[in-house]
Homo-oligomer: A and B are copies of this chain.
Amino acid sequence: MISFTEENYLKAVYHLSGGGQKAVLTNELAEAMQTKAASVTDMIKKLSAKGLILYERYYGVKITTKGKAQALQIIRKHRLWETFLVEKLGFNWDEVHEVAEQLEHIQSPALIDKLDKFLGFPSVDPHGDPIPNTRGKLKPQHQVPLEQLGPGKKGTIACVKDSDPSLLKYLEKIGAKPGKKIQVVRIEDYDKSIEVIIQKKKVIVSKEVSKNILLSL
């Protein structure tokens, strides 16, 4: 049985590795988990012993197929709970991340499948992140960060990476929620900030923000 803490580390490895693509360094993990590198090394050994990651000292970790499957189940739970909190309980999209971080550790496959059904088998959570199905499959997304869009180009907001409440509150204020159309007007050469039209209003967003807005074209 995998512990609460091990689940959190595993999820972090999954996310930091971009879904299992690249290896993750000890310090990245320490930063993400708000802890010390030494603690990460300790935990890495445990996850490695359980076959959830591959560990090579001084070179970081890679997630295994088994580890990825487990991580996706946790992510599935997280996103289903976020959907529940927003759709059914009336939370705002910037208020749900922390509670979902707790709820994702509840152990009960029956609960999650019933919740999924209750929510009508949603394919994305309130931030536009895709929800893995029971078998841990993710629908392939073809999304482009707003950052990469040229002047004049249009798209539909599909997903907001980063669940920082202050970002989400800001995006809500300017009307940048998943499903909304967005068009690039111009890009400021100096700081790469982007002037866009959202819901007929012109807004300028920083490059920092534009990285976090994913569009489907």
Contacts and interface: CB of A to CB of B under 8 A. Distances in A.
B88 A111 contact: no
A95 B118 contact: no
Q: Is the interface of A mostly helix, strand, loop or mixed?
A: helix
Nearest to A103: B106
B103 A89 contact: no
Interface residues of A, number: 18
Contacts of A107: 102
A204 interface: no
- Oligomer: number of copies: 2
A115 interface: yes
B106 A89 contact: no
Interface in A87-128: 88-91, 95, 98-99, 102-103, 106-108, 110-111, 114-115, 118
Contacts of A91: 110, 114
Nearest to A98: B108
Nearest to A108: B99
Contacts of A114: 89-91
Contact of A111 (B85, B106, B118): B85
Given A89-B115, A99-B106, A102-B107, 7 more contacts: A85-B111, A89-B114, A90-B118, A99-B111, A102-B108, A103-B103, A103-B106
